[in-house]
Structure 1
Amino acid sequence: MSGLTVSRLAEIPDALRIARCRSLPNLGPRLLFFSGGSALNDIAHSLKGYTHNSRHLITPFDSGGSSQVLRAAFNMPAVGDLRSRLMALADESDLGQPDIFRLFTHRLPANAEAAVLRAEARAILTGEHPLICAVSQPMRQLIQTQLRSFAEAMPADFDFRKASVGNLILAGGYLANDRALEPVLFLMSKMVAVQGTVRSIVDANLQIGAELADGTIIIGQSKLTGKEMPPLTQSIRRLFLAEGDAEVTPERVKLPERNLRLIETADLICYPPGSLYSSVIANLLPLGVGAAIARRTVPKVYLPSLGPDPECPGLGLVDQVEALLEQLRRDAGGDCPADRLLQFVLCDGDSFAAADARELGRRHGIVCMAQTLASEANPTRYDPRRVCDSLVSLT
């Protein structure tokens, strides 16, 4: 671990480090997260008080909810998780853009009459909606340009129920920029003054596929998470990316150079809470991710979910860590030492078994750090400030 030991970490004056970050978040550490979904959003929101330099690599492979409506209509990657992380990191100070934030986070109703829904959608697309009119120029014109691109390509029967306006703007920007996500993500980041960096792990329109323990193949993220489909009854043996129903080899899905640089300059790498396979391991599938992580000699931390994960039936903490290591070694090499991929499991003291900690140490030399991290109001959720304190203390 490049000379970094637990004893040395214990000598770090945590309170001073935390106070320094909170007083100068613009100079805060470059914490990198491989995530997707909403599980990290509360922590990301709190993280703005510690650092404006966090990096978030997000999966664009969601196949449920309003993102799937856009994917089906425009044959594009999923943008919902990207938009929600951008909003979690948006500047909320007096220097921010509250009118744009309100527009980007607005959702159309789920159960309105068709005529009412169409009327609101039309007002949004023509720029007559009060939320758009409240945005000052030139931002309003930039937003309307993206929405015009969306409207011009929109199918006549597009389903606006529960549509996120921010997602519509991202979709329009994707279409307007030769079907590329990065330009419109950059634009939206500037519009709401995002205090961090949010990128899609790859700019590719693919699906997640899983091979289960009995050999069954499942294609589609929404079929794994237990939210829109019944939860899995057996464990996932292997995750992969697919185009249609066909598996895509890693050589066809390479980590972009811009994201490689984020890993190469990170001060800490975190595998955060969320669906283990479709939110975390999915980010590790592109070629080059595991090798880049192995080369970077900084603390690498797994923060497991506190509540049950429907993607992990029958899997305990040791199994989850080994699933992470297995995927990382597919890229970094089967003989890559564990401490180059993961050194710490940051655990809530009341939510893990001491036997798991001993086993992780025995098998892989991984250190479990037991702290008080759960929310007092909901023990299945992390307290964002406690987590941020712990992560910053490790840098």
Structure 2
Amino acid sequence: MDDRTSKTAQPQAGASRPDPAHDPAHGPALVFFSGGTALRETARQLIRHTHNATHIITPFDSGGSSAELRRIFAMPAVGDIRNRLMALADLTAPGSRELFALFTYRLSRRESGPALRAELVRIAQGAHVLVSLVPEPARSHLMARFGLFLDAMPEDFDLRGASVGNVALTAGWLAHGRRLAPAIDEVAGLVSARGLVRPVVDGDMHLAAELEDGTVMKGQHRLTGKETGPIASPVARIWLTDSLDTAAPASVSMDESLADLIAKADLICYPVGSFYSSVVANLLPDGVGAAVARCPGPKVFVPNPGGDPELLGHGVERQAVLLRHYLAASGASCGACALDHILVDGRVPYPGGLDPARLAALGLRVIDRPLLADEPGRFDPVRLVRALVSLV
């Protein structure tokens, strides 16, 4: 999900230096269905191996500062997209570190509205220290974008905790006729992002879910429990809706150009992350499963060994069955053509259980590799990336 730390994130030293053993510009074409935070460190390591990965991100977040942008502008959520763009930034490129510092900066949560507006005005005028450090012509371009946002921002807009990167993406979305792809590419070009980032759909959609106890929840922020507390009953089903005001199911199709990228991938990955709100959410639009089924490469699920409050004890087998179910609903013609590999670390216990024999009986190839770091439940991003690339 959207990372909600304040102020400026610090890039890891050397995270963007390529592997000297090969040219990542000619690396494999990988596709990831994910949210923002869980795969962040993995994405930073991935660019050492390939610059040809496509990161398909859920634009359905309804909490944090994304909620205010969505309330005012009726737009997709951009926080997870910004998060992934920063993870893919090539920090060795001229000006990239200065832009990284600007885009990961957050306005204070404690200052008054007038003070926050005044700070955003300083950003738009180039008088803010973070903007002054950005080299030309990027500085002038961004000043114009922030000015555009200020012109469009109503007086009652709540700037507390606002991400400057989210503001930049929103301004680009407005400038490009309310289209997200060119706004993403604009920011990606500024930070020299080594990979393609796309929302699974470019529309103002929300998540809704029914729990096994009959409770119906509207909004991704309620499902994740980050703002309302964890869910008390397992998820029975999840779907898309047009608004937080209704739980009525809504149908939306993914863009055909994105479907073609999925179909032509060397490998598709359903990675670690919030199972329903990050991974399954990406599989809901019409056409996703059909595009996955067209891909001849391996389709790999990486379950979370550290536990996930959205799953409430579902084991790995149950998760695999659910992934196939939602992929079939969006067009996959068979289970095996939508998911055929499970990547696990058999040294550790998985919540809800891991039974390789039962997974194999479902036609899944179980790949057991050392994936975890010394910290319990936490992946070593280097090991995870190497394991995925080795399957291509």
2:339 aligned partner: 342
Q: Is the 8 A contact 1:304 1:347 kept in 2?
A: yes
- CA shift in 2, pair 1:117/1:277, >3 Å: same
How far 1:246 moved relative to its partner? 4.2
What secondary structure, in the 3-state scheme, does the structure 1 residue paired with 2:99 have?
Answer: helix
- Pick one of 354, 371, 374 that aligns with 1:373: 371
How far 1:215 moved relative to its partner? 3.1
How far 1:332 moved relative to its partner? 2.7
Q: Which runs of 4+ in 1 moved over 3 A?
A: 19-22, 112-119, 352-355
Q: Tell me if 1:229 matches 2:228.
A: yes
How far 1:68 moved relative to its partner? 0.9
- CA shift in 2, pair 1:79/1:313, >3 Å: same
How far 1:234 moved relative to its partner? 1.5
Q: Is the 8 A contact 1:146 1:170 kept in 2?
A: no
2:282 partner amino acid: N
- C-alpha distance in 2, partners of 1:30/1:138? 31
- C-alpha distance in 2, partners of 1:145/1:337? 49
Number of residue-to-residue matches in the alignment: 371
Task: Judge which range, 73-82 or 106-115, deviates more.
Answer: 106-115
- C-alpha distance in 2, partners of 1:247/1:350? 43
2:389 partner amino acid: V
2:248 aligned partner: 247
Q: Return the TM-score normalized by structure 1.
A: 0.89
1:290 aligned partner: 289
2:179 aligned partner: 180
- CA shift in 2, pair 1:270/1:21, >3 Å: farther
Q: Is the 8 A contact 1:240 1:247 kept in 2?
A: no
Q: Is the 8 A contact 2:218 2:247 kept in 1?
A: no
2:72 partner amino acid: A
- C-alpha distance in 2, partners of 1:343/1:22? 29
CA distances 1:149-196 after superposition (whole Å, capped 9, x unpaired)? 210111212222211111011111112222111111111111111101
1:350 partner amino acid: R
Q: Tell me if 1:382 matches 2:383.
A: no
2:356 aligned partner: 357
Q: Return the TM-score normalized by structure 2.
A: 0.90
- CA shift in 2, pair 1:183/1:155, >3 Å: same
- C-alpha distance in 1, partners of 2:228/2:348? 27
How far 1:308 moved relative to its partner? 1.6
Q: Is the 8 A contact 1:21 1:27 kept in 2?
A: no
- C-alpha distance in 1, partners of 2:38/2:26? 26
Q: Is the 8 A contact 2:100 2:191 kept in 1?
A: yes
1:206 partner amino acid: M
Q: Is the 8 A contact 1:207 1:220 kept in 2?
A: yes
- C-alpha distance in 1, partners of 2:354/2:199? 37
CA distances 1:300-324 after superposition (whole Å, capped 9, x unpaired)? 1001122221111131111111111
Unpaired runs of at least 5, structure 2: 1-17
What secondary structure, in the 3-state scheme, does the structure 2 residue paired with 1:43 have?
Answer: helix
How far 1:283 moved relative to its partner? 0.5
What secondary structure, in the 3-state scheme, does the structure 1 residue paired with 2:248 have?
Answer: strand
2:135 aligned partner: 136
1:160 aligned partner: 159
What secondary structure, in the 3-state scheme, does the structure 2 residue paired with 1:32 have?
Answer: strand
What secondary structure, in the 3-state scheme, does the structure 2 residue paired with 1:23 have?
Answer: coil
- C-alpha distance in 1, partners of 2:100/2:112? 26
How far 1:73 moved relative to its partner? 2.0
Q: Is the 8 A contact 2:93 2:192 kept in 1?
A: no
- C-alpha distance in 2, partners of 1:115/1:287? 44
Q: Is the 8 A contact 2:242 2:250 kept in 1?
A: no
2:4 aligned partner: none
- CA shift in 2, pair 1:99/1:29, >3 Å: same
How far 1:206 moved relative to its partner? 0.8
Unpaired runs of at least 5, structure 1: 1-18
2:46 aligned partner: 47
2:101 aligned partner: 102
What secondary structure, in the 3-state scheme, does the structure 2 residue paired with 1:340 have?
Answer: coil
Q: Is the 8 A contact 1:90 1:96 kept in 2?
A: no
1:130 partner amino acid: V
- C-alpha distance in 1, partners of 2:346/2:307? 17
- CA shift in 2, pair 1:114/1:246, >3 Å: closer
- C-alpha distance in 2, partners of 1:275/1:124? 34
For 1:1-395, list aligned pairs within 5 A: 22-95=21-94, 97-112=96-111, 116-244=115-243, 245-250=246-251, 253-332=252-331, 336-352=333-349, 356-362=355-361, 364-376=362-374, 378-395=375-392
What secondary structure, in the 3-state scheme, does the structure 1 residue paired with 2:330 have?
Answer: helix
1:261 partner amino acid: D
Identity %, equivalent residues: 44
1:39 partner amino acid: A
- CA shift in 2, pair 1:327/1:141, >3 Å: same
- CA shift in 2, pair 1:27/1:382, >3 Å: same
What secondary structure, in the 3-state scheme, does the structure 1 residue paired with 2:376 have?
Answer: coil
2:348 partner amino acid: S
- CA shift in 2, pair 1:240/1:329, >3 Å: same
How far 1:22 moved relative to its partner? 4.4
CA distances 1:27-75 after superposition (whole Å, capped 9, x unpaired)? 1111100011310010001111111111100011001111112111222
- C-alpha distance in 1, partners of 2:372/2:354? 20
